[in-house]
Amino acid sequence: MSINFQKNGLIAHIKNSSISYILEVIDDKYLINRYFGKTIREYRETNSFQYFKRGYNTQHLSSIENLSFDDFPFEYPTRGHGDYRIPAISITQATGIDFIDLTFKEWRILNEKPKISGLPSTFSEEGETETLEIICEDISAGIRVYMYYSIFDNLGIIVRHQKIENFGKQKITINSAKSLSLELPAKDYDFLSLYGTHAKEANVSRFALHRGIQKIESARGASSPQHQPFFALVSPDTCEESGEVYGFHLIYSGSFSAEVEKDQFGNVRAQMGLNPDNFKWSLESGEIFETPEVVINYSNNGLNGMSQNFHKLYKSHLIPKKFMNQERPILLNSWESMYYDVTLDKIEQQSNIAQELGIELFVLDDGWFRLTNSSKTSMGDWKCNEKKLPGGINKVAEIIHKKGLKFGLWFEPEMISKASNLYSEHPEWALQIPNYPMVEGRNQYVLDLSRKDVQEYIINIFHDYLKDGQIEYIKWDMNRPLTEVNSLALDFGRKSEIWHRYILGLYYVLETITSTYPNVLFEGCSSGGARFDPGMLYYTPQIWTSDNTDAFDRTIIQSGYSLLYPPIAMGAHVSITPNHQTGRITSMNTRYQVARLFNLGYELDLSKCQDYEMKEIAEQIAESKRNRKFIQYGDFFRHDVPNDNYSMWSTVNSDKTEAIVIIFQKFYNPIKSHCLFKLNYLNSDFDYCEKNTGKIYGGDELMSVGLSIPLIKSDFHVFAFHFEKIS
């Protein structure tokens, strides 16, 4: 890991054993990108500029003959001086003119990775990162931009963000400030992203990049299930196990924009950051604005190579340190067994059975504070309904703890019901636009988290429940997008800042609560995956993956999210059949096998299980506990499969002496049955014993020849293998 300067300080080479990122200053003022990709020993300018004289173009004084800004690889591009492609930053000066022209001033190496004020970001210990700080400025506009590039030891990762300073005497307005802008050379790429909707998240979209602009976004106030704040540019031949990948992921939980422009010459500009459609920021003289951090990921080992970079980064440099190496408890969530109709008798019954089965954490979901058994009341009050639960939450905690279980509680703290005491007392606390109707979602409005009084109210609610140590887990939910996004407390000139200020308020609340109660395990949730993003992962080391617990759909959802997130971050529950979301019938074994390599939990009415099902669940939990550490610390892989009737996953430990392999047969289909499944990522020199059968296999044979499996006359069947190295 190093940052070196060449060519009398005009070239900066950021590198480690995996990647190189090279920047150059041209004519003492233009900062450009020269290379990002597989590491090289030394940069000797083999990709020198080859320009020619063009018509219908702009001319610029430069040491490069026939220089054209039309395809110049600017590192942080702006518009208005001859580059007509998508800009990374847009500023309105005090004169009302939309223009900024950044020129290079200086760069230096930082031994510490800088923190970002008010925003989550990756962190590192001493010696794990180096950071290049670059300063560019527009003296006429009084604007200075600080650009930060941090590289991690032995990861194909660079993280970037910017700091924008108004050193002039007049107020300016930031119209757009992207966290990422990256130039890539002219060649064919596929655009890969994750799209979806509620209960059908993280579907893979892949298409050939074409001329023009391709864009994904969220304008919903949350990162959204519609588009993950991620995209990748991949070589057309890239698969799970080989090929070149450039992946980009934004550490932010609000509205975002990600776009790629392929110009007339085939050059590619990739950008990602705050969504400019619902963002403007007034910057007074002397003030600073910081952009969210973006993760830039390169792999020449296919999509799994990209995934391993993301997984290792997030497990070691993003999730709360307390939970990096802490085994996660197997939980029972009350939702699908009780819904809103919670009672002490039901809790007593479910926790009794949970204790017998070996479950470690009981989570009381929605319903405990509602005046009725519906979603229509009480949001924001957070007073336990003691007609439902005599003795309140303390009594529930007492029941659970007497069983030797940990106790968790569900909240949706960002919302407020019209039928609530809080709304009667503080109607101004809801997001709203005067003289326009307020739109409900799930019978609730959204609290204005940009307000300090609202932030402190939420913090105090959690203090009241967490201060006595009776609650070991919090499920933090958020069940609707934002509408009428206006704060009655913000001045006229700040109205366009509310979208971002809401997220800053959310982060302030989360930072305060999680740092005050570092031993409490927080799980993020937003109708499942509506806010599954790295920003939330910084505060909540696990996130509820989807409200859809159907095993068949979960193979797709969990595969999609595994492109980015380590399985330990994904909540995966075994639920009832027929499934409550889809009506699909799957076996108990299939439901377990699909969940077992992830953050395992259960969500069903245990009192309705048959004896044989209870025995099966107890065996599943015992097996999961035996393998829990191996699964949490192992490397997770998706596998290329012979046809689309199968999905295949594996978890392999770091020294490749143990592996669990899951092959999912979607449907009974004889035409697609003659398949061999190659177990890549083992050691070809080892011999392995398959623990369920006792058979011995060579690693080379498993990897090169592959396993055959029988055709099962059943839909949704899972084959599970557990391999261990033998002496």
For 436-466, the pLDDT digits (tens) are 999 999 999 999 999 999 999 999 999 999 9
Please state the rounded mean pLDDT for residues 283-298. 98
Partners of 129 in beta bridges: 152
Pick from 561, 375, 563: nearest CA to 477: 375
Position 720, amino acid: A
Which candidate, 553, 552, 416, places its Cα nearest to that of 480? 416
Label residue 432 by pLDDT band (50, 70, 90): very high
Averaged over 394-406, what is the pLDDT? 98
Structure confidence by residue, pLDDT tens digits, 230-261: 999 999 999 999 999 999 999 999 999 999 99
The answer to whether the beta carbons of residues 285 and 171 sit under 8 Å apart is yes
Q: How many residues does the chain have?
A: 727
Please tell me the distance from the alpha carbon of residue 200 to that of residue 557, in angstroms, as a whole number.
Answer: 7
pLDDT at 509: 98
The closest of 618, 545, 552, 547 to 585, measured between CA atoms, is: 552
What dihedral do alpha carbons 79, 83, 87, 90 form, nearest 10°? -10
State the pLDDT at residue 34: 97
Q: Is 319 a residue whose pLDDT tops 80?
A: yes
pLDDT value at 557 more than 80: yes
3-state secondary structure 293-310: EEEEEEECEHHHHHHHHH
> What token pair was written down for 681?
């990522």
Average pLDDT over residues 9-22: 98
d(CA 135, CA 76): 11
Residue 270 CB: number of other CB atoms within 10 A?
Answer: 26
**Strand partners for 298:** 246
Average of pLDDT values for 616-630? 97
What is the spatial distance between Cα 110 and Cα 570, in angstroms, rounded to a whole number?
A: 34
Catalogue the active-site residues: 477, 547
Q: How far is CA 213 from CA 155, 208, 216, in A?
A: 30, 12, 10
Q: Is 478 helix (H, G, I), strand (E, B) or coil?
A: coil
Provide the pLDDT for residue 163.
98
Omega of the bond leading into 427 within 30 degrees of 0 (cis): no
- Containing 194, the helix (H) or strand (E) segment is strand 190-197
Residue 310 near residue 565 (C-beta atoms within 8 A): yes
Helix ranges restricted to H, 326-386: 335-338, 344-357
CB-CB contact of 134 with 107 (8 Å)? yes
Structure confidence at residue 111 (pLDDT): 87
Average pLDDT over residues 556-576: 98
pLDDT at 61: 87
Q: Which of 666, 662, 656, 660 is nearest to 715 (CA)?
A: 666
The predicted pLDDT at position 93 comes to 96
Q: Cα(627)–Cα(662) distance, rounded to whole angstroms?
A: 14
Spatial distance between the Cα atoms of 178 and 269, rounded to a whole number of angstroms: 12
Distance CA 464, CA 471 (A): 11
Kindly state the average pLDDT of the residues 12-22: 98
Numbers of helices and strands, H then E, in the chain: 12, 38
Backbone angles phi, psi at 530, to 5 degrees: -75, -15
How far apart (Å, rounded) are the C-alpha atoms in residues 666 and 711?
Answer: 11
Mean pLDDT taken over the chain: 97
Q: Which helix (H) or strand (E) holds 52?
A: none
pLDDT band at residue 692 using 50, 70 and 90 as cut-offs: very high
Strand partners, 542: 523
pLDDT tens digit sequence for 484-542: 999 999 999 899 999 999 999 999 999 999 999 999 999 999 999 999 999 999 999 99
Mean pLDDT of 552-564: 98
CB-based contacts of 57, cutoff 8 Å, min separation 6: 68, 70, 82
Query: Dihedral sign, CA of 603, 606, 610, 616?
Result: positive
Strand order across the beta sheet in which 19-26 lies: 2-6, 11-15, 19-26, 30-38
- Long-range pairs, 370-378, Cβ under 8 A, ≥24: 370/340, 371/419, 372/340, 373/339, 373/340, 373/341, 374/340, 374/443, 375/340, 375/442, 375/443, 375/444, 376/417, 376/419, 376/443, 377/417, 377/419, 377/420, 378/417, 378/419, 378/420
Q: Over the Cα atoms of the chain, what is R_g?
A: 27
Distance CA 534, CA 249 (A): 8
pLDDT above 80 (res 1):
no
Section 554-573 average pLDDT: 98
Report the distance separating Cα 648 and Cα 283, nearest Å: 51
The helix (run of H) or strand (run of E) holding residue 499 is helix 498-516
Residue-wise burial string across 471-486, b where 16 or more C-beta atoms lie within 10 A, e elsewhere: bbbbbbbbbbbbbebb
CA nearest to 621, candidates 354, 323, 336: 354
Write down the H helix ranges in 274-343: 302-317, 335-338
Return the pLDDT at 259: 98
Q: What is the pLDDT of residue 84?
A: 96
Q: Which helix (H) or strand (E) holds 402?
A: helix 392-402
Cα-based angle 708, 709, 712 (whole degrees, multiple of 5): 155
- String of DSSP letters for 596-642: TTSEEEEES-GGG--HHHHHHHHHHHHHHHHHHHHHHHSEEEE---S
Check residue 727 and give its pLDDT.
Answer: 84
Q: Which two tokens stand for residue 449?
A: 């988290």
